[in-house]
Structure 1
């Protein structure tokens, strides 16, 4: 009764960095046996990414890596050796899913492309999630989240008018569209295999889930020939709509009052803000036409309020409003996240007490899904050699001397 939903599923995880690691984390957090294949000679770049625990760099001290790799096992194989490739094939023979997010052709160099893997495990579900997919004039291009944001137009739309594209401040494609689309595809393939016995080759081009986020912009271009640009916090059909200063240092509130009811509520909630009652703001059209002046008048009013108190007051008056939270707010003071037990603290062998995100959804009866901290580099090599490959200590030691286990 207490089994997690994906217990009994094994993933041979060749992914690295952001999108691939988050995809397999979703499975690991729900019970799948995810064995992360790493190399001590060519580290997962995320292991070298800030922030580090206590500010001390180290291959096992990246908070970014840790959060993307909870509940996984780590083995270190040298896939440039014949013995390393053979061990990878043995792992694949016992795995339901093989996942990678390398440039097309990389897995084939190791003899681990889909056609080769299918001969080892005919019903395998093979996930390949490169930037541009497995074919086409640009399929060999190497890309990262920032590249994908640029190529898809996401970065072009992010920022202030008449300024250079600002981007999203993080590699947004790595965190939302790509891992979630890939995980959905794998779950569908698992269901298909359960019904038919057939495996699947899943070819995710990471640019395409990111493009899917931009539907209204793409439709406006296709249907109306209109090329959208950067608008900051403005809305094309609503005013006021933006982020406004509050009392204190760098404290802000987001407000959207695009309907007559919300506008009336805003004016009623701020009785001292005479500027909002000016004739130039009487109608929705007036407010859109004078958005700059409206933003200035509203900012003058909001700056007198503490952010949380103003949010509560505006919401009572039917105005969509939310405090702009800092990282400290979210981790330490967000009562909703605390209620949902979103933050999980685990003891890591090197980092000590470390914080992890719980999965962004809950399945009834399975609240405690983040169970183990991220693995140390190669932490489970001996265990996997013994339990999966059937090797004894002498065999493991021999492969270490040969540089097969790095």
Structure 2
């Protein structure tokens, strides 16, 4: 196997829950040695988040935690004991990157803030991912993915115009914009360090990548004073553009028509003469009659199998996709299978478990989850013996004195 892109890069990971943990997962899956600093007295709350393997609640059986922490190693350290802090500082002295997503000031209270570490390791890359960044009047606000989605206006754009905002059904900031922006910033800092030898501090406010996702409504307000509103599934340049029922229990298909040629193909495939009205043949007229068109399409799609209809529409160059559930994505999606997206790894407590692969590939060789998520403190002895040269007897004493806990 070829050398992984980040092989040899060492990361000390203080991140909890979503975006930070997913960012370091991306780096770990590309070969970085990520050591997750934990404690039995202050658990990453994601370890207690369902679903649990076989429904058995345990700090080592959360599928949510596992998927966010593949390819990592875990140590348990009491950061309230000065000896625990010194152990972590000794690991950081030889590391390339320190990552956290705490509120500003938390790392400093633990004794591992950037200014406390840069003299110890001048080439250190230090990334903090708080909600609003380290500076400004709102720096101390505590926020999670759903909070950031609301604060930035993202939730306000999700849903139907005549109803309350619906959101996206998940903490979207934790899964896409923030971990990806954080990983990109770290990669840029690694490149800079390789060229100059210089480390740097990265202060990434997680609200900023969210705003970068919405350039059109932001610029439309700044330039024209227009406030964007919820549009449901509608699109200003496409009609029909929606989600329609198909045969089966709660089964749906998304269809998007951007040209008059696609409209003709859709009406032909649906066998719907009732849709082929002269007043609907032009896009501008369809945009004015979206509601009526949606109702008419739904009466025809309801009689069709979603996958069969999707294949027929795609073959005719009409954008369409079945709305898939988890079982569909894992068992039926040919693209996921082709790209080897789902990986199965042997977990020490959960057994053979499924993990997400990365949404990208490298020509130089495969990347992705290499190791199952760690048990809580699974690698404490290994890391202290190999990295810090501590003897088994010394480690036994530190465990007995609750320094490693």
TM bucket, shorter chain: over 0.9
Shift of 1:368: 5.3
1:85 match: 85
Paired with 2:141 and 2:339, the residues of 1 have a C-alpha distance of 41
1:396 match: 395
Shift of 1:256: 0.8
Shift of 1:184: 0.5
2:168 match: 168
Alignment of 1:363-382 (within 5 A): 363-367=362-366, 369-382=368-381
Does residue 1:62 correspond to 2:62, yes or no?
yes
1:219 match: 219
1:282 match: 281
Does residue 1:94 correspond to 2:94, yes or no?
yes
Higher mean displacement: 363-372 or 1-10:
363-372
Shift of 1:316: 2.1
Paired with 2:2 and 2:317, the residues of 1 have a C-alpha distance of 43
1:298 match: 297
1:362 match: 361
1:40 match: 40
Paired with 1:55 and 1:330, the residues of 2 have a C-alpha distance of 22
SS in 1 for 2:117: helix
Q: Are 1:268 and 1:317, in contact at CA under 8 Å, matched by a contact in 2?
A: no
1:320 match: 319
* C-alpha RMSD of matched pairs (Å): 1.1
Deviations 1:38-66 (A, max 9, x none): 01101001101111111111100000100
Shift of 1:231: 1.2
Listed as ranges, the gaps of 5+ residues in structure 2 are none
Paired with 2:224 and 2:261, the residues of 1 have a C-alpha distance of 31
Paired with 2:365 and 2:75, the residues of 1 have a C-alpha distance of 28
Q: Are 2:260 and 2:281, in contact at CA under 8 Å, matched by a contact in 1?
A: no
Does residue 1:198 correspond to 2:204, yes or no?
no
Q: How many residues align?
A: 405
Q: Are 1:122 and 1:199, in contact at CA under 8 Å, matched by a contact in 2?
A: yes
Paired with 1:284 and 1:388, the residues of 2 have a C-alpha distance of 65
2:11 match: 11
Does residue 1:131 correspond to 2:128, yes or no?
no
Listed as ranges, the gaps of 5+ residues in structure 1 are none
Higher mean displacement: 147-156 or 226-235:
226-235
Q: Are 1:280 and 1:290, in contact at CA under 8 Å, matched by a contact in 2?
A: no
SS in 1 for 2:34: strand
Q: Structure 1 length normalisation: TM-score? A: 0.98
Paired with 1:299 and 1:220, the residues of 2 have a C-alpha distance of 33
Deviations 1:254-313 (A, max 9, x none): 111121121122122223x12212344232222111111100001111111101111111
Higher mean displacement: 261-270 or 249-258:
261-270
Deviations 1:334-378 (A, max 9, x none): 111112111111111111111001111111242253221000000
Shift of 1:245: 0.7
Paired with 1:332 and 1:55, the residues of 2 have a C-alpha distance of 21
Paired with 1:161 and 1:140, the residues of 2 have a C-alpha distance of 33
Does residue 1:337 correspond to 2:354, yes or no?
no
Paired with 1:77 and 1:15, the residues of 2 have a C-alpha distance of 14
Alignment of 1:90-169 (within 5 A): 90-169=90-169
Deviations 1:185-223 (A, max 9, x none): 111111101111110100100000011101111112112
Does residue 1:229 correspond to 2:229, yes or no?
yes
Does residue 1:351 correspond to 2:350, yes or no?
yes
Paired with 2:363 and 2:289, the residues of 1 have a C-alpha distance of 49
Q: Are 1:11 and 1:98, in contact at CA under 8 Å, matched by a contact in 2?
A: yes
Higher mean displacement: 374-383 or 228-237:
228-237
